[in-house]
């Protein structure tokens, strides 16, 4: 699995290098954008099929949904608290100078 992750990251970095090299060419950027959407659609379609044929997931969908919701709350609340500290100490402008 470690190998797969390295491959995926290497492929992304390769793309990044090519992207920097290509630069600002609206036509290519448009095509890349369309292909990106297409591959996201394809992957989520495949994920949908995988989930639909996976009895373990289908039978536990309510549990999975609640777990996801709890994780969302955790992530959002944690981010809010950290951002509040950052705002208080670094961003908030003092009213009286």
Partner 1 sequence: MKGSLIILSFFVLGLILGLTQFLPNSLLEGDFSIYALYLLMFLVGIGIGTDRDSWKVIKEVNIKIILVPLSVIVGSLIGVSAVSVLLSNINFGEAMAVGAGFGYYSLSSVIITEFHSETLGVIALISNIIREILTLLATPLFVKYFGKLAGIASGGATAMDTTMPIIVQYSGKEYAIIAVFSGIVLTILVPIIVPLILQFV
* DSSP letter, residue 24: S
Among 2, 27, 62, 96, binds partner 1 (CB under 8 A): 2
What is the nearest approach in angstroms of partner 1 to the Cβ of residue 10?
Answer: 9
Separation CA 88–CA 71 (nearest Å)? 26
Among 27, 67, 94, 96, binds partner 1 (CB under 8 A): 67
Residue 59 lies near partner 1 (rule: CB under 8 A): no
Task: Give residue 96's region: left, alpha or beta (phi > 0; psi -120 to 50).
Answer: beta
Residue 29 lies near partner 1 (rule: CB under 8 A): yes
């Amino acid at each position: 699995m470690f190998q797969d992750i390295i491959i995926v990251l290497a492929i992304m970095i390769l793309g990044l290098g090519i992207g920097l090299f290509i630069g600002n060419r609206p036509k290519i950027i448009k095509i890349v954008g369309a292909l990106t959407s297409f591959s996201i659609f394809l992957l989520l379609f495949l994920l949908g099929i995988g989930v639909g044929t996976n009895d373990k997931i289908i039978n536990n969908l309510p549990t999975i949904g609640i777990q996801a919701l709890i994780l969302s709350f955790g992530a959002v609340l944690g981010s809010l608290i950290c951002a509040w500290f950052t705002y208080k100490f670094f961003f908030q402008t003092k009213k009286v100078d």
